Structure 1
Amino acid sequence: MNYPHRALGMLLVLLITACSSTTLKNSKQTSTEQQLNLADIYQEKIYETKKLGSVRWMQDGLSYTALETSADNEKAKDIVRYQANNNERQVLVSAATLTPKGADKPLEIDDYQWNSDQSQLMIYTNSQKVWRSKSRGDYWLLKIKNGTLTQLGQSAPKPTDASMMFAKFSPDDQSVAYVRDNNIYLQSLSDFSIIQLTQDGKDHIINGIFDWVYEEEFSIADGFRWSPDSQHIAYWQLNTSPVKNFTMINNTDALYPTLTVFPYPKAGEENSTVRIGMVNVKNQQTQWANIPADTTDFYIPRMDWAGNSTEIIVQKVNRLQNHNDHYLVDVKSGKATNIFVDQDSAFIEDYYDVKWLKDAQHFLKISERDGWRHVYSVSRDGKRISDITPGEFDIIAIKHVDETQGWLYFTSGKDKVIEQYLYRSKLDGSGAIERVTPTKWQGTNNYQISPDGKLAVQTYSSFNIPTQYHIVSLYDHSTIRTLIDNHEVTEALSNLAMAKVEFFRVPSYDGLELDGMIMRPANFNPKRKYPILFYVYGEPAGQTVKNTWGRGPMWYQYLTEQGFIVASIDNRGTKSPRGREWRKQIYRNIGTLAAKDQATALDEMAKRWSYIDTSRVGVWGHSGGGSMTLNMLFRYPEKYQAGIAAAPVPDVRLYDTIYQERYMGLPDTYQMENGLDAYDQASPISFAQNLQGKLLLIHGTGDDNVHYQGSERLINKLVENNKQFEFMSYPNRSHSLREGKGTQLHQMTMMADFFKLNLIDTAQAN
């Protein structure tokens, strides 16, 4: 659920792109203002912002490449080079150049990568979905000098389509490595001969890629790394045979049902075993890393070369995920030396690759060891550790390391946790931390910095300002050029009577301040009483209260036009950059403390704003937010009159090992004060008998992440207790509920009608 996980991002996409063409009329609309309808958002895509696309900085640091629609073929893409300072444009690779011999159309570019001197280009095309991402497809090589285009991975007599994964150039540009059918292959770029580097890959032995739970919860899919000298490839090998299979049934796509079966470790069950190999590309011999272990029950969430070609660094994490050992492993002998330990009394939530400095004697490591997420400089032997971003704030991400000038660039919510800016600190830890982003860019900022650290692509937005892209000079943050400003969306917004957003803080039951967002209708009258809708997530994987543009604001705007106040609260335990204590109070208390925060926030808001009608309170959420919706309805039934839970986890025992055990420990190991064990206490289903309000439950039967199984168990519990509810299952839809013609439109129509019926129409009828 690292991507319920993506739960916030997915839900916002869902809530907008799925909207209905049915307009719920607002009788107070003025004659000069347009009223938003769901067709505007979804069908006409009036408020759809343009995105920059796939940008690659060139090695000169002064130019970059981007994909653009070809002037000769509107269905194809050219790769275009721009000079950052003057917008000089050059088509480097035309769509025509990417047309294979005998083909009637150019390759569709899903992604591309340059070799080290940018004389060769690898095109990724014909991509196919593997779980969440399109990670399997075809690769083609273009030699820029002579325009030769060659499909990689092919050998006579039987070419294969869409079977290659994660192809990448060797550092010396002499070959390409890739994964096919659970084995790693090497292809020469001189004669295109192919060598199979691993031989043992089969159904349950996978080399260079990952099982479902690693990809989902550790956010890694590419499972091999080239050595800097191109002589070895270090790779993960997983054995999935201990993992029990989960089965999904497809009732609609064929005359008889078909099954999808895959290994999925639920909380408390066995995981895949894992080890690290280092294969010599010349003799195809693998040396296994001799990682000390008294059990096979551990994870390796990160691994890479250790600043040279003789050692790798491996991060080994225990099953409870509160102890992370960093080993240097010798490529010849496999001997492992523990040089650094990161640990926590609760859990380690995020895992980061270490960043080696050029001297290979120091690396940068992100850790929460002092209570805040900071960057530490660590000596190669692990004996010298220094915090180079000190202070009571969290960094969000490292963006660039400029060793020439001695700067570390990083993003942070240092000045305001609901916003994001670029900062820099000295690599030696001296001097004060400097903010790079000027104050005029109030909102959320991100950066893609050039190799020499002089220029950057700045991405900027706020809740009311659609996303903009600029080329900026990092020296003074002056804007060199605006790439995209999305003025069309801004102009469309100007025709609406926009609701105003207010960010605020409200105390919880113990005085802890919670971040909140509230939107009131544009024609707001403080003397009236308004129903209020809360968007919730509440799990550790997301932050809902943030000053950033997204698809959410337009959905919220639509709801305010129907007469609702819309709000959201980030409870303790969410991903807000507010320090370790904020995030880890919820250890072994998933669902309980968060729900109490949410309920208290409602009470405090009602005291502050008398126009909130506490007899008409609704809540909705997706994935972890669906679970939170159930928690609110079941644990505080007197406060919430209606709720929509999409793709929830009603019983946390049904979710995967890595996510659930990280925050809850192993099942059945301890009891709570009320006699329930911790997993039962954390599960909304344990309190389903308390339901009083209206519930709409939504789930896709093809959800490989949060299984439909959980909603069926909840249905049984509600039926057992004679609790009436509404239910919609979407056949074969995955966790995002986006597949299938009309799915999103149907869901959003249903959601809008549900809230209007139960919180506006019913009240008016009474």
Structure 2
Amino acid sequence: MKPLLLLTSLFAVISTLTAQQKPLPSYAPSRNEMLTRYKVADQRDSLARRTAFKLSVTPNWSGPSAFWYRNAMPDSQSEYLYVDPVKNIKRPLFDAAKMAAAISSVQGKAAEANRLPIRNAYLYPDGKKLAISLGRTFFDVDLSTYATTKIDSLPVDKTDYPSLTRVAGRWQRNRSARTSPDNQWNVSVKDNNIYLEPVGGGPAVQYTNDGTSALPYGDITWSPDGKYLIAYKIKRVVDKPVYYVLTSVPGTTRGEMKERPYKQPGDDFSTYEMFLIKVVDKAVVKVKTDIIDFFDAPKINWNKGDNDHFMFERVDRGHQRFRIIEVNAVDGSTRNIVDEQTSTFIYEQRIFTYYLPETSEILWVTEKDGWRHIYLVDAKNATIKNVVTKGEWVVRSVDSVDVKKREIWFQASGMNKGEDPYFLHYYRIGFDGKNMVTLTKPGFNHRITWSPDKQYFVDTYSTVDQAPVSVLGRVSDGKQLMELEKADISKHVAAGFRLPEPFHAKGRDGVTDIWGIICRPSDFDPKKRYPIIENIYAGPQDAFVPKSFSAFGEMQSMAELGFIVVQIDGMGTANRSKAFHDVCWKNLADAGFPDRIAWMRAMAAKYPQADTTRVGLYGTSAGGQNSLGGLLFHPMWYKAAVSACGCHDNRVDKQWWNEQWMGYPIGKHYDEQSNITNAHKLKGKLLLIVGEADTNVPPESTYRVADALIKAKKTFDFLAVPGMGHSDGGPYGRAKKRDFFVKSLLGVDPPDRNTDELATED
């Protein structure tokens, strides 16, 4: 090649590379264009609700397995279908024309066959009659003749299916009975002490005499055979109140003060000292366990056929020790059946325990091996009998237990390699950890509804960018019997709506995948760079990025104004490994920010349309704490934030949530991570929103931030919404949030709703 030609070619290559590296021009709309965007966004919000159909199947069970459901169709039309899983048939629930005629005759006005005014219905188990609700009137309709009979109300199915036991709530309390199980005695507390009196009549017998007004006896329960009473000497603590003022109560000229009890981190709990009382000889035995000073009196689980032993669960304050303790009722001695301890936290709300008194076993869900799994415990020998589930994946929930078949029905995520580790799947497994049956297909997020007899299920599955499909399945082998519905989103796509994009990238460690979604404007121009807005909620109690299809959402609505809107689950949130979750421990200010920033950098590397010089974030509650935290602790990345009803200081917010993650006792780390303490660091633009009637996070949490910002001479915007509870400010707050980002990230004056012609947001 000649030198001149070579030089020319080299310059061409350099020019091409330079052009490729040159940033895209920033999206910078004019004000008129912005006003048009607002109008279009409002129109699209309304349109989105009318462009997608058959998004799910909600079965209304009739008998053990048959069901009917309603489909919402275009133009406000409906159809009603009947499914018999045993016969594997699907057909119309009724003749729509005949039903319309029957309804017309009883309501005195014409009913359309494709728009029947049926608000609710009950199909009788024999399938011959349908009870329907027409407003406040109810009728039985004979499905062979369509003759109608007025009835008082819709029937309720009270059939019991005893084989399967639903898992009870985590902290279910004892149900105290006054009369003993053997029907011999009635128990009562008089003058702070325990008395028994014969059921058939006779003088009351005093069983304790050391109860006082400061330490009365209470929370009394019977043993199953009536031989023992379990009772507590209780030191009651009255929770201190928090206050708020309703400023704009109609018909008044003064604000109205409200108060309610509210336990904050560090506040005392009532204490319970456990005693056993032997009915036969009035002996009072102190149980050899420390006074319970955290939570309430525990639920008692008596051993079957052995009424001299029972178990209860105990959580130590600070959430670092969980025990299942067995008590010998004869002498009050105790031993630990389970004793789990950790250097970080135990998330008690995700512990599942199921007692099997007939076999002296316990099903126990724990993260002790670094992942949440099910174990079978031998309660007699206080040992783990066997591991039921294991692997680098997470048991998310236990649906029910079949004691007869010794099977567990559970939900899990992360088992399928190569898919989003948050996708929820359903499984059935034996107590011995064998014969696991997978009931859901890979690649989707699932939601199952079981038939009452647990022989069949309806599964609706989707992803954020794949429309839902609803199928009928069989529990015994997980086989799909029929496709019930496939969502119709043709109008949604034809209208130009963009679906969110799932996206994952490496987190702060360069190894762990962080997952999120990306929403772009429907008229997205790949030759422009758009500001990024992050919808943040880093509460450690769960994970929050959507995994299922939705035709409408605030993120897409906000994107329509000219933003790329993202949501991310960073380290410190739940539903991954224990190590992933532990990042939040005494470290809520972290909020996964290093992972979020790394994720957005990776997104911008792949999609140069993402402008990392204009990044905002918004959130509510814990998300409100996080959004302000982004400006305080990462001002080089985040430039604007909207913070709604944030729990800005973990000493001000509710006790149970904050001590769970920040620990106990209250240490200096609470102060060091407070948005109030760090308010003087504010850089960037901030809008604070608070509802004056917030009963979740005390409003003073936000007011104290405002006070600290004022004292630090910082500039910020503030919106207090009269009468509003715990929210993002409602429709007005959401409108102000959009306006704030339009001004702060796009540099355009938002609509002046006093003068500009603009559709009013619902």
Q: TM-score, normalised by structure 2?
A: 0.68
1:348 aligns with 2:351: no
| 1:694 corresponds to which of 657, 672, 685 | 685
C-alpha separation in 1, matches of 2:484 and 2:475: 16
Q: Deviations over 1:177-235 (max 9, x none)?
A: xxxxxxxxxxxxxxxxxxxxxxx9x9x99999xxxxxxxxxxxxxxx999999999999
Structure 1 459/504 Cα, relative in aligned 2: closer, same or farther at 3 Å? Answer: same
Q: Residue 392 of structure 2 corresponds to which residue in structure 1?
A: 392
Give the 5 Å matches for 1:156-555.
241-253=237-249, 254-273=252-271, 292-299=288-295, 303=299, 305-306=301-302, 308=304, 310=307, 313-328=311-326, 337-351=335-349, 352-357=351-356, 359-381=358-380, 382-403=382-403, 405-413=405-413, 414-415=415-416, 416-430=420-434, 433-439=436-442, 442-450=443-451, 452-465=453-466, 470-480=471-481, 487=488, 490-513=489-512, 514-550=514-550, 554-555=553-554
Deviates more, 1:597-606 or 1:228-237: 228-237
Q: Deviations over 1:234-273 (max 9, x none)?
A: 9999876342222222232244433333221211121243
Q: Structure 1 regions of 5+ residues with no counterpart?
A: 1-21, 119-164, 175-199, 209-223, 670-676, 738-742
Q: Deviations over 1:28-53 (max 9, x none)?
A: 99xxxx98533446xx7766988766
C-alpha separation in 2, matches of 1:288 and 1:450: 49
2:132/2:154 contact within 8 Å kept: no
Kindly provide the amino acid, as one letter, of the partner of residue 114 in structure 1.
Answer: K
Deviation at 1:308, TM superposition (A): 4.1
Counterpart of 2:623 in 1: which secondary structure?
helix
1:539/1:574 contact within 8 Å kept: yes
Q: Deviations over 1:379-401 (max 9, x none)?
A: 12222332110111111112243
Counterpart of 1:363 in 2: which secondary structure?
strand
| 1:80 corresponds to which of 123, 130, 137 | 123
Q: Residue 745 of structure 2 corresponds to which residue in structure 1?
A: 759
| 1:635 corresponds to which of 633, 651, 671 | 633
Deviation at 1:607, TM superposition (A): 3.5
Counterpart of 2:473 in 1: which secondary structure?
strand
C-alpha separation in 2, matches of 1:548 and 1:205: 52
Kindly provide the amino acid, as one letter, of the partner of residue 385 in structure 1.
Answer: K
Deviation at 1:65, TM superposition (A): 9.3
Structure 1 339/614 Cα, relative in aligned 2: closer, same or farther at 3 Å? Answer: same
Deviates more, 1:331-340 or 1:354-363: 331-340
C-alpha separation in 2, matches of 1:28 and 1:247: 40
Deviation at 1:274, TM superposition (A): 5.2
Structure 1 166/362 Cα, relative in aligned 2: closer, same or farther at 3 Å? Answer: closer
Structure 1 205/724 Cα, relative in aligned 2: closer, same or farther at 3 Å? Answer: farther
Structure 1 28/753 Cα, relative in aligned 2: closer, same or farther at 3 Å? Answer: closer
1:114 aligns with 2:178: no
Deviation at 1:667, TM superposition (A): 4.9
C-alpha separation in 2, matches of 1:225 and 1:98: 46
Q: Structure 2 regions of 5+ residues with no counterpart?
A: 1-32, 72-79, 81-98, 108-116, 141-149, 163-173, 184-210, 752-762
Kindly provide the amino acid, as one letter, of the partner of residue 447 in structure 1.
Answer: I
C-alpha separation in 2, matches of 1:92 and 1:449: 23
2:131/2:154 contact within 8 Å kept: no
Kindly provide the amino acid, as one letter, of the partner of residue 62 in structure 1.
Answer: S
Kindly provide the amino acid, as one letter, of the partner of residue 457 in structure 1.
Answer: V
Bigger CA radius of gyration: 2
2:314/2:324 contact within 8 Å kept: yes
Q: Residue 37 of structure 1 corresponds to which residue in structure 2?
A: 44
Structure 1 383/496 Cα, relative in aligned 2: closer, same or farther at 3 Å? Answer: same
1:627/1:648 contact within 8 Å kept: yes
1:243/1:263 contact within 8 Å kept: yes
Deviates more, 1:614-623 or 1:63-72: 63-72
Q: Residue 146 of structure 2 corresponds to which residue in structure 1?
A: none
Counterpart of 2:295 in 1: which secondary structure?
strand
C-alpha separation in 2, matches of 1:54 and 1:244: 46
Counterpart of 2:448 in 1: which secondary structure?
strand
C-alpha separation in 1, matches of 2:225 and 2:66: 27
| 1:723 corresponds to which of 714, 720, 735 | 714
Deviation at 1:375, TM superposition (A): 0.4
1:712 aligns with 2:717: no
Deviation at 1:406, TM superposition (A): 4.8
Counterpart of 1:25 in 2: which secondary structure?
helix
C-alpha separation in 1, matches of 2:594 and 2:444: 29
Q: Residue 8 of structure 1 corresponds to which residue in structure 2?
A: none
C-alpha separation in 2, matches of 1:268 and 1:365: 29
1:560/1:566 contact within 8 Å kept: yes
C-alpha separation in 2, matches of 1:23 and 1:82: 57
Structure 1 277/706 Cα, relative in aligned 2: closer, same or farther at 3 Å? Answer: farther
Deviation at 1:650, TM superposition (A): 1.4
Structure 1 544/76 Cα, relative in aligned 2: closer, same or farther at 3 Å? Answer: closer
Q: Residue 111 of structure 2 corresponds to which residue in structure 1?
A: none
Deviation at 1:550, TM superposition (A): 4.7
Deviation at 1:746, TM superposition (A): 1.8
Deviation at 1:319, TM superposition (A): 0.6
Identical aligned residues as a percent: 22
Counterpart of 1:750 in 2: which secondary structure?
helix
Q: Residue 735 of structure 2 corresponds to which residue in structure 1?
A: 749
Q: Residue 735 of structure 1 corresponds to which residue in structure 2?
A: 726
Structure 1 277/296 Cα, relative in aligned 2: closer, same or farther at 3 Å? Answer: closer
C-alpha separation in 1, matches of 2:506 and 2:176: 51
Structure 1 756/475 Cα, relative in aligned 2: closer, same or farther at 3 Å? Answer: same
Q: Residue 598 of structure 1 corresponds to which residue in structure 2?
A: 596
| 1:660 corresponds to which of 633, 644, 658 | 658
1:498/1:522 contact within 8 Å kept: yes
C-alpha separation in 2, matches of 1:39 and 1:235: 59
Kindly provide the amino acid, as one letter, of the partner of residue 725 in structure 2.
Answer: S
Counterpart of 2:457 in 1: which secondary structure?
strand
Structure 1 62/500 Cα, relative in aligned 2: closer, same or farther at 3 Å? Answer: closer
C-alpha separation in 1, matches of 2:672 and 2:501: 34
C-alpha separation in 2, matches of 1:469 and 1:205: 56
Deviates more, 1:586-595 or 1:366-375: 586-595
Q: Residue 29 of structure 2 corresponds to which residue in structure 1?
A: none
Kindly provide the amino acid, as one letter, of the partner of residue 754 in structure 1.
Answer: F
Counterpart of 2:36 in 1: which secondary structure?
coil
1:563 aligns with 2:562: yes
Deviation at 1:341, TM superposition (A): 1.8
How many residues were matched structurally? 614
Deviation at 1:564, TM superposition (A): 1.2
Counterpart of 1:298 in 2: which secondary structure?
coil
1:703/1:735 contact within 8 Å kept: yes
1:572 aligns with 2:576: no
Counterpart of 1:652 in 2: which secondary structure?
coil
Structure 1 690/363 Cα, relative in aligned 2: closer, same or farther at 3 Å? Answer: same
Deviates more, 1:313-322 or 1:478-487: 478-487
